Amino acid sequence: MATYGYARVSTTDQDLETQVEKLTGAGCTIVREEKMSGTTREGRAELETLLQFLRSGDVLMVTKVDRLARSVGDLQEIVKIIKAKGAALKATDQPIDTGTAAGKCFLDMLGVFAEFETNLRRERQMEGIAKAKARGVYEGRKPCIDPQEVRRLAGEGLGATDIARRLGIGRASVYRLLENPRNV
């Protein structure tokens, strides 16, 4: 039986030190750290390692539930994996213990609020972009595909795969440009 810690921040300029101190202070023998967005499990190798390593009787500990997941679906999937292994999830800063009905209920509520916070942040970002576009300040991402070059290479008889390879773009982008002449 072991207690493992998981510490996560979203960006590389954020610090994990406080989380690591809390987790080791709570008895975690191993703490895995990650600097990745919590909006998805994809690409979070340290979390996946911990989930694979858990055994019956082990505990996965976080400081707060939003360090583990930012969506209810991901949170529920992670909890399902932990439970299937006979392990438990606990948090140092929140009364979460998946071994009790009250702890599970509180976990679900916190998951809903974490997802709500993420959605609010996304809405504010979209509002800011819309205002910047209206003022003519925001132009979006610069195009990385030269439609004229795609047309020139197609005119030389190259196929979509060769064009995509030569320009370092996706084949679907080549097809999209060639099928819709207004884009070229």
- The per-residue DSSP string of the chain comes to --EEEEEEESSTTS--HHHHHHHHHTT-SEEEEEES-SS-STT-HHHHHHHHH--TT-EEEESSGGGT-SSHHHHHHHHHHHHHTT-EEEESSS--BTTSHHHHHHHHHHHHHHHHHHHHHHHHHHHHHHHHHHTT----SPP---HHHHHHHHHTT--HHHHHHHHT--HHHHHHHHH-GGG-
The structure tokens 């600097």 sit at 35
Domain-wise residue ranges, the chain: 3-117, 147-183
CA dihedral for 43, 46, 49, 53, sign (positive or negative): negative
Task: Judge if 3-117 and 147-183 fold alike in CATH terms.
Answer: no
pTM of the model: 0.60
Please, which residues have CB within 8 angstroms of residue 79's CB and are 6 or more apart in sequence? 89, 98, 104, 107
Facing residues of 33 across strands? Answer: 7
Residues in contact with 70: Cβ distance below 8 Å, sequence separation at least 6, in sequence order: 37, 38, 39, 114, 115, 117, 118
CATH of 3-117, one of 3.40.630.10, 3.40.50.1390, 3.40.50.1240, 3.40.50.2300: 3.40.50.1390
Query: In angstroms, rounded to a whole number, what is the distance separating the alpha carbons of residues 166 and 120?
Result: 41
| Confidence at residue 181, expressed as pLDDT on a 0 to 100 scale | 61
- pLDDT tens digits along 13-66: 788 899 999 999 999 999 999 988 877 788 889 999 999 999 999 999 999 888
Which residues are annotated as catalytic? 10
**Which CATH number is associated with domain 147-183?**
1.10.10
State the pLDDT at residue 184: 46
Give tens-digit pLDDT for 77-136: 888 899 899 998 999 988 777 777 887 787 777 777 777 887 888 898 889 888 888 888
